[in-house]
Amino acid sequence: MHNVLVTGGAGFIGSNFVRYFLETHADCHLVNFDALTYAGNPENLSDIEGDPRYVFVRGDICNRAAVEEALKEYKIDTIVHFAAESHVDRSILGAAVFVTTNVMGTQVLLDAAREHAVERFLHVSTDEVYGSLGPQGKFTEETPLHPNSPYAASKAAADLLALAYFHTYGLPVVLTRCSNNYGPYQFPEKLIPLMIVNALNGKDLPVYGDGLNVRDWLFVGDHCSAIDLVLQRGAPGEVYNIGGNNEWKNIDIVRLLLRLLNKPESLIRFVKDRPGHDRRYAIDPGKISRALGWSPAVTFESGLKSTVEWYLAYRKWWERVMSGEYMEYYGKNYEAR
Ligand code: NAD
Ligand code: DAU
């Protein structure tokens, strides 16, 4: 039996992971510790609210007392750390909250984990810490860190802190670095859900620059299965890259989505490029595949189709997100610690 604290479990990947973990591990207790920023939406987990193994705590990872109280009250032995500011465009508009949450919040969690002798700390990171690739090659765990956006720099700083706590204090930390995720409950500020909801609303689809930047897409459920495996069997102090060898140019994804939605390409608008826009990401997943036997289960064709179907079926979910209603409702119903 494990008592697991998941940070950021009300966000996109965190909520998918919470559901995955409860489905996969009958014998566990799971605490979802989330500040409910604009990206946190407890509605993502409304189906499991009655599960006796699950507790939601509204709390900020930067608040040491709140973190310690949760670790103590729920006798936490395992932390899976998703909580972060996650959107590159927002980090370009203002880096401060990225440093506060992603760097200082991670340091607070690491200190609290030491204090409470946590047995396992999985830090969820990103391929963006490696920077940008040319037309050839892939990121391995040995690729030097070269973050280019304030978001990526804050994640790289957090990664280095987490590894330093392993080397200095022996805290059993393990790191994952995944490529771009897509799937249900992704906030419609990221490429795939933004293009879907804009197309459904008959609005323009803003493609940055020439649209030829490349991202390596993974279905969120496959990211969850990889994290779970690293949590069970990953070696402390190690980094595991996660990706499905699935590179796409942005413009090709946008065209594919329009075809799936039966909408015209005339909705595409090429707009000013993102400052410092990384050209290409591609993950070499060889280590996690060899060491832990992980491989993705969902093809891009079926994952993208089911994601489009999800956004069609869950129109109410994204309309409440777009209108801001989701925040008003839950702001009233969850007390902050
Ligand atoms: P998200 O923005 O959808 O969710 C972030 C969650 O963290 C939200 O629920 C938010 O309320 C919570 N949060 C933010 N600040 C907090 C704080 N101070 N205290 C407690 N909770 C706080 O993010 P996501 O896309 O689900 O990403 C989750 C993690 O995975 C992040 O660490 C991100 O860097 C990493 N990651 C994301 C991707 C991707 O494609 N989305 C890929 C690789 C890695
Ligand atoms: O690689 C992992 C990272 O993927 C995660 O660490 C981040 O949290 C996550 O946000 C994501 O970062 P990206 O910047 O790659 O994702 P985003 O969805 O913002 O953009 C994907 C690509 O699409 C990128 O090349 C920019 C482009 N884009 C994005 C938006 C929002 C557009 O052309 N138009 C848009 O409106």
Question: How many residues are given for the chain?
Answer: 337
Strands 78-81 and 54-58: unpaired
Ligand 1 atom closest to Cα of 151? 34
Tokens of 271: 């707009």
Q: Which residue has its alpha carbon closest to ligand 1 atom 36? A: 126
Ligand 2 atom closest to Cα of 181? 4
How far is it, in rounded angstroms, from Cα 239 to Cα 249?
Answer: 27
| Secondary structure of the chain as H, E, C letters | CEEEEEECCCCHHHHHHHHHHHHHCCCEEEEEEECCCCCCCHHHHHHHCCCCCEEEEECCCCCHHHHHHHHHHCCCCEEEECCCCCCHHHHHHCCHHHHHHHHHHHHHHHHHHHHCCCCEEEEEEEHHHHCCCCCCCCECCCCCCCCCCHHHHHHHHHHHHHHHHHHHHCCCEEEEEECEEECCCCCCCCHHHHHHHHHHCCCCEEEECCCCCEEEEEEHHHHHHHHHHHHHHCCCCCEEEECCCCEEEHHHHHHHHHHHHCCCHHHEEEECCCCCCCCECCECCHHHHHHHCCCCCCCHHHHHHHHHHHHHHCHHHHHHHHHCHHHHHHHHHCCCC
Mutation pick for ligand 1 pocket among 20, 86, 130, 222 (CB with most ligand atoms within 8 Å): 86
**CA angle, 106 as apex, 165 and 19 as ends, to 5°?**
110
Residues 303/239, Cβ–Cβ less than 8 Å: no
**Residue 293 falls in which region: left (phi positive, over 0), alpha (psi -120 to 50) or beta:** left
Does residue 88 have its Cβ closer than 6 Å to ligand 1?
A: no
How far is it, in rounded angstroms, from Cα 176 to Cα 292?
Answer: 13
Taking each helix axis as running N to C, give the angle between helix 315-323 and helix 300-313, from 0 to 180 degrees, rounded to the nearest 10: 70
Q: Which residue has its alpha carbon closest to ligand 2 atom 25? A: 213
Structural domain of residue 272, as residue ranges? 3-333
Q: What's the one-letter identity of residue 193? A: P
Q: Which residue has its alpha carbon closest to ligand 2 atom 34? A: 207
How far is it, in rounded angstroms, from Cα 231 to Cα 288?
Answer: 12
| CA–centroid distance, residue 325 to ligand 2 (Å) | 25
Radius of gyration of the chain (CA): 19
**Which one is catalytic: 34, 43, 85, 128?**
128
Give every CB contact of residue 290 below 8 A, 6+ residues apart in sequence: none
Give this prediction's pTM. Answer: 0.98
Does residue 21 have its Cβ closer than 6 Å to ligand 1?
A: no
Please confirm, yes or no, whether 151 is among the known catalytic residues.
yes
CATH number, position 278 = 3.40.50.720
pLDDT of residue 327: 81
Nearest to 188 by CA among 320, 284, 100: 320
Ligand nearest to the CA of 80: 1
Q: How many domains does the chain have?
A: 1
pLDDT of residue 337: 36
Does residue 113 have its Cβ closer than 6 Å to ligand 1?
A: no
Mutation pick for ligand 1 pocket among 5, 7, 13 (CB with most ligand atoms within 8 Å): 13
Q: Which residue has its alpha carbon closest to ligand 2 atom 21? A: 191
Q: Which residue has its alpha carbon closest to ligand 2 atom 16? A: 190
Q: What's the one-letter identity of residue 81? A: H
Ligand nearest to the CA of 279: 2
Please confirm, yes or no, whether 142 is among the known catalytic residues.
no
Enumerate residue ranges in the chain where pLDDT < 50.
Answer: 332, 335-337
Mutation pick for ligand 2 pocket among 180, 218, 219, 247 (CB with most ligand atoms within 8 Å): 180
pLDDT of residue 336: 43
| CA–centroid distance, residue 263 to ligand 1 (Å) | 31
Ligand nearest to the CA of 210: 2
Tokens of 211: 């649209």
Nearest to 306 by CA among 221, 198, 243, 241: 221
Ligand 2 first shell, C-beta below 6 A: 86-88, 126-128, 179-180, 190-191, 194, 206-208, 213, 215, 250, 274, 281
Residues 57/33, Cβ–Cβ less than 8 Å: yes
Nearest to 64 by CA among 30, 107, 31, 102: 107
pLDDT of residue 329: 56
| CA–centroid distance, residue 8 to ligand 1 (Å) | 6
